[in-house]
Amino acid sequence: MSEPSGLAEVVRAAGARYGDTTLYVMSGGEHDGLTLTYGELDAASDAVAAGLWRRGIGTGDVVVLLLPSGPAYAVAYSALAKLGAVTAGVNERLSPPERRCCVEVARPRLVLGAAELLEGTGLGDAAEAHNGPSGEVVVVEGSGVPPEALGALAAPGGELPVLGPDPGRAVAVVFTSGTTGTPKGAVFGAAQLDAVGHADGGRRWGSGGRGLSSTSFAHLGYMTKLPQVLRGGGTTFVMERWSPGAALDMVQRHSLTTVGGIPTQVALMLAHPDFAGSDLSSVRLVALGGGPSTPGLVRQARQGFGAPVVVRYTCTEAGVGVGTNPDDPEEDAEQSVGRPRPGVTLTVRDEHGRLLPDGEVGEVCLASAACMTGYHHEPEATAAAFTADGAVRTGDLGYVDGRGRLHLAGRAKEMYVRGGYNVFPMEVEAVLEDHPAVAHVAVAPRRDDVMGEIGVAFVVPRRADAAPTLEELRQFGRRRLATHKLPEAMAVLTELPRTAMEKIDRRALAVLAEEVSPPRAR
């Protein structure tokens, strides 16, 4: 028998292999303690698939999931895969207008939405179903597993279509974060999900442990890695609302073996008052991805958790990118984002698409079989996203060193020019965050009549009553940074503004920066 590669086939194979093994455990809220086994995922998704097929949902139909992360989302995604339909998941942390925008981009045949996530979008009401501006809208009651949730859609024992293997069949639409404008829907097919499995774990079975889900199920990681997660046979704990204290408690109570997530989340765990007294001896790996990690954070995480730290870097459109391995030299994760994952080609290019030699900063480009097929219904944007030879243009700036490691310099649109010199905020932040009084820092430009642009440092101090002064920051940074890179204005915040994906909200900082007046001219 051939190795199952498609999501639907892997759901069935994992159900048969792992059966009563717990796949998901909900933590917090009204569904605290609710579980879903591998066998239940297979059986429930069969029932929901049969019900949706009776409604006319089939191959190629786009269905939007406005559901909280958890068992119901997993069942719905698996059911749609069994029909050959396309799942477009919407991050539950987006605002109602943002959620509606994603639905409009998707142009779905059907929307499955929890009442609380449909509220304020104008897409649904208390009715069972109605025809909205973007296809039929069905209100899903509750976020558990059938029959509590999706039960009205299910047809246990119902007939299912027979789908042959089709590597080109679209499986998922993953929305970009929208931090630079209207979100786009990156389309991934069966071949792309299989390539992600190859890069992530070689499609191995039985390698899973006990981990914590720290990002939305609508995120690239879940939508493209679910087949590999199912092959692992591990257990994932899903927090209804993530918080650093609750995450630490989960690690202790359930002896979690992996701690992962956005660097912000790990930084908040390290800074939590309960961290020092927590028993973290079960942790075998800390994985950071979804945003830049400073050298200081990597060192703190390694020391605090007493486990290797790996970093991952990609963009939504590329599927997979580069990263470090647990047995790499420690400096790799501190100084870089690692080397290309299996099957990935990494290049750095100038504004004309020409390849740059090692050491020169340019746009990071990634090519692999895991790259999106394109943006949903946006051919012009798709063409602009790829180089002439088929690599994804990430929009990030960086360079490759003599050891093949990628070093990021920031987003192309975040770079600013001070007196004719380029300044990359990420480089400055990596230095200033090592200041002993600084917990978090972000740098944004503001207009200046003399220099064109200057840097504004937004600082979250370790102690509210002991924030560093601007001059102290500049003196500290002068040891490792040229003078033109040092911030010339500063503001103290209790926390940095974040997007729904927990990344620093650079657009919000740019607005705040214009309101911060610099001291006397330097």
Pairwise pLDDT comparison (137 vs 201), residue with the higher score: 137
The 10s digit of each residue's pLDDT in 436-452 is 999 999 999 998 877 87
Categorize the per-residue pLDDT at 336 as very low, low, confident or very high, splitting at 50, 70 and 90: very high
Q: What is the mean pLDDT of residues 269-283?
A: 94
16 vs 93, residue with greater confidence: 16
Please report, for residues 265, 294, 365, 473, the alpha-carbon distance to residue 431 in angstroms, rounded to integers and kept in the order given: 20, 8, 26, 10
What pLDDT is stored for residue 181 in this prediction?
58
The token pair that represents 521 in the structure block: 């001219």
CA 338 vs CA 288, 315, 405, 455: distances in Å: 12, 15, 5, 28
Q: Which residue has the tokens 């560093």?
A: 468
Compare 76 and 124 and report the one with higher pLDDT. 76
Q: What is the mean pLDDT of residues 158-186?
A: 85
Average pLDDT over residues 360-367: 96
Question: What angle separates helix 220-232 from helix 7-18, to the nearest 10 degrees?
Answer: 40
521 pLDDT above the threshold of 60: no
Query: What is the pLDDT at residue 129?
Result: 41
Give a three-class secondary structure readout of 402-421.
CCCCEEEEEECCCCEEECCE
Q: Residue 32 is encoded by which pair of tokens? A: 């605290």
The closest alpha carbon to 411, from 431, 429, 437, belongs to: 429
Q: Which amino acid is at 501?
A: M
What per-residue string of b and e applies to 117-126 under the rule 16 or more CB within 10 Å gives b? Answer: bbeebebbee
- Determine the distance from the C-alpha atom of residue 227 to the mean position of all C-alpha atoms in its chain, rounded to a whole number: 17
Query: Which phi-psi region, left, alpha or beta, contains residue 233 (left: φ > 0; alpha: ψ -120 to 50)?
Result: left
In this predicted structure, what is the pLDDT of residue 448? Answer: 83
Q: How confident is the model at residue 309 (pLDDT cuts 50, 70, 90)?
A: very high
Taking CA atoms, 146 is separated from 43, 90, 308, 348, in Å, by: 10, 21, 39, 48
What DSSP assignment string belongs to 234-270?
-EEEEESS--HHHHHHHHHHTT-SEEEE-HHHHHHHH
> Are 375 and 385 in contact, with CB atoms under 8 Å apart?
yes
User: Which domains does the chain possess?
Assistant: 7-199+233-242 (3.40.50.12780), 308-411 (2.30.38.10), 416-513 (3.30.300.30)
